[in-house]
Chains A and B, each alone.
Chain A
Amino acid sequence: MSTTVAADAPMRSARARRRPTASFKWMVIPALLFAAGMIVLPFFWAIWLSAQETMIGGEPRFIGLGNYQRLLADEEFWNGFRLTMLLWLLSLALQLVAGTWLGLLLARSNAARGLVRTVLVSPFMLPPVVIGMMAIVILDPGLGVANWLLARIGLGPLLFLADPGTVMLTVALIDTWQWTPFVALIVLGGYLSLPRDVFEAAEIDGADAWQRFRRVTLPLLAPTLVTAAVLRSVDLLRFFDVIYITTQGGPGQSSTTLNILAYRRGFEFFEFGYAAALMVTLSAIVFGSVLAFARIRRSVAW
């Protein structure tokens, strides 16, 4: 052992001397310039816009935090905030529970391969527009096949996306349909990387299936679940596509989440300053949730 090290040492230093000192760092520059122009500059521009009062045909006027004051007093903002939180918590809970169940089912039956895997990845690789179009046709209150199926088992008919009372639940279920397999595959990956012997030890100690899940599997999977929660939260808090495609925020304001509200104020009413304030606020909410999850992740690490 020691002889190899001794023989190695002079060679290494000789190579180190010959090693070129050139750096590859310049290769980051094109990407950084692009990011500076397309991401950083627009970000600060948006913040600057949010400090202005803009009206069509008039000159923009600097009003500091005026837009944010207006926002805090705006009933539509609070409606959007409530709907955003509702969609986030409801979908996240559904997807984490169903995803954990499905992920462990896949692990037990060793089934996530070939055609089964194709079926599992398909929903979340489909364009949101396709999801929306399917929802419109299948969930149509009068002619959709969903109500026909419900009628077979003596339920319904429901208005789904057309009813202010069920629209958010419907959107949450659509998103759960689309993203539960994604959560499940993350859970599966996390589960397969766990040490086997812990489960065997628990079984030998006589723990029943529920105890093994509650006391062993779940704590060990916690960091994986937090990862899945972060990824889904970022998408859910700024949810836009499927709602805008199916309802545009309606009926009334019943599905006007913060991102929908910001979009409509900006691109339908052209209130750029106020819309920017909404968007900056939403961004802060998303970043805040990511930071919160980072803390949670540290606390469940093992």
Chain B
Amino acid sequence: MGKRRRAGILDGIQLALVLLVLVAPVAWMVLSAFKPRTEVAALPPRIIFTPTLENFVELFARTDFLENTLNSLIVAGGSTILGLVLAFPAAFAMSWHRMTWPATATLFARMAPGTLFLLPWLMMFTFLGLVGSHLVLILTHAVITLPVAIWVLLPYFDALPREVIESAEIDGCRQHQTLLRVALPMVAPGVVVAAILCFVFSWNYFLFALVLSGFDSKTAIVASFNFIGEGVTNWGALMAAATVIALPPLILTLLIQRHLVGGLASGAVKG
């Protein structure tokens, strides 16, 4: 018994160290965001300080970060909705008819480097005059959200009893009614998980907006990158921006953390 217990304590110590290593950089970022300008880069680091909001005030007052954040919300929200609207009926039909090839095909989009699509997109959307609009970001980010939504929804549809759909058909439901009134309420938890994952992935995505966004559609992610490029030496404001853009994914994933790894690994785990 004593040996077991010692092993347990040893495991506890290792785990505590891992958690410390994982938390420390994020804690450092948040602390720096609330430090007075004079103490952000002070060494030895100040752990005790009077927290201030001056970094956030500077961030939102001196830059367009508020507009950038709104752009991010529009793009992430729009691509989440577009992805779900396309994925929901598709995933239902794929599950019902046991079609596997469209799901496999969507994995292709997950594997190819984003830069590969970006060149033709830039030419296509320049031709269409859409570069710099919110729409082009919603469309391109939906390339990320659509496969995620399909793969998250598939197992929920697979678990749906076939009799429910069949009896709805027999009762004379039109197909879209069957889908919206019968299937949707039953897979609602899956839709929530899919929506949150889609939103977070789109919110976090860097590359497409880097090339395709314009002054009026610049996302908070790209704006933060530009702060670095402009040589913003005010680390407090930089960490304030990082804290702001880190918040939505952290809060949202808290809600669905039990489904998270399954959602991210989808495709590979089943395949």
Contacting pair B113 A279 (CB below 8 A)? yes
- Chain B, Cβ-Cβ closest to A231: B268
Alpha-carbon distance between A42 and B112 when the two chains are bound, in angstroms:
12
In the bound complex, CA of A28 to CA of B85 (Å): 11
Interfacial chain B residues near A228, Cβ < 8 Å: 265
**What string of 1s and 0s marks CB contacts (under 8 Å) between A30-60 and chain B?**
1110110011011101100100000000000
- Does B206 lie within 8 Å of A245, measured CB to CB? yes
Contact A49 B139 (CB under 8 A): no
Bound state CA distance, A22 and B174, in angstroms?
Answer: 10
- Given contacts A25-B93, A116-B19, A189-B261, A39 and B111 within 8 Å (CB-CB): no
- A239-263: CB near B (< 8 Å → 1, else 0) gives 0110011000000000000010011
Please state if B257 and A117 are interface contacts (CB–CB under 8 Å). Answer: yes
What 0/1 readout, one digit per residue, does chain A (94-136) give for beta carbons within 8 Å of chain B?
0000000010011011010000111111111111111011101
Closest B residue to A20 by CB, please name it.
B169
The CA of A19 and the CA of B166, in the complex, are separated in Å by 7
Distance from A226 Cβ to chain B, minimum over Cβ atoms (Å) = 9
Contact partner of A27 (CB less than 8 A), chosen from B89, B105, B109, B221, is B89
Question: How distant is B83 from chain A, measured CB to nearest CB, in Å?
Answer: 9
Of A2-10, A70-78, A137-145, A213-221, the one touching chain B: A137-145
* Contact flag A102-B169 (CB < 8 Å), given A28-B90, A129-B245: no
Please, how many angstroms separate the alpha-carbon atoms of A117 and B260 in the complex?
A: 11
- B22 to A122, Cβ gap below 8 A? yes
For residue B146, give the distance in angstroms from its CB to the closest CB of chain A: 6
A-side interface residues, number (CB < 8 Å): 86
| Complex Cα gap A244–B257 (Å) | 29
A266–B21 CA distance with the chains assembled, in angstroms = 38
Task: Classify the secondary structure of A's interface with B.
Answer: helix
**Most chain A C-beta atoms within 10 Å of own C-beta, residue among B102, B113, B271:** B113
User: How far, in whole Å, are A109 and B122 apart by their CA atoms in the complex?
Assistant: 51
Measured between alpha carbons, how far is A45 from B119 in the docked complex, in Å?
Answer: 9
Closest to A151 in B: B43
In whole angstroms, how far apart are the Cα atoms of A175 and B129 in the complex?
37
Residues of A within 8 A of B (CB): 15, 18-20, 22-28, 30-32, 34-35, 38-39, 41-43, 45-46, 49, 102, 105-106, 108-109, 111, 116-130, 132-134, 136-138, 143, 145, 148, 177, 181-182, 185-186, 189, 227-228, 230-231, 234, 238, 240-241, 244-245, 259, 262-263, 266-267, 272, 275-276, 279-280, 282-283, 286-287, 290, 294
Given A39-B143, A42-B119, 14 more A-B residue pairs with CB atoms under 8 Å apart are A27-B93, A31-B89, A38-B140, A41-B120, A43-B120, A102-B18, A106-B15, A119-B23, A126-B246, A132-B228, A227-B269, A231-B264, A279-B116, A283-B111
For the complex of A and B, list the 6 residue pairs with the smallest distance between their C-beta atoms, beginning with the closest: A27-B89, A42-B120, A238-B113, A31-B90, A45-B120, A127-B204
Of the A-B pairs whose beta carbons lie under 8 Å apart in the complex, a sample of 15, sorted by A's number, is A18-B170, A19-B166, A30-B85, A31-B102, A35-B105, A35-B109, A38-B143, A41-B120, A108-B11, A177-B25, A238-B113, A240-B206, A245-B228, A267-B211, A294-B271
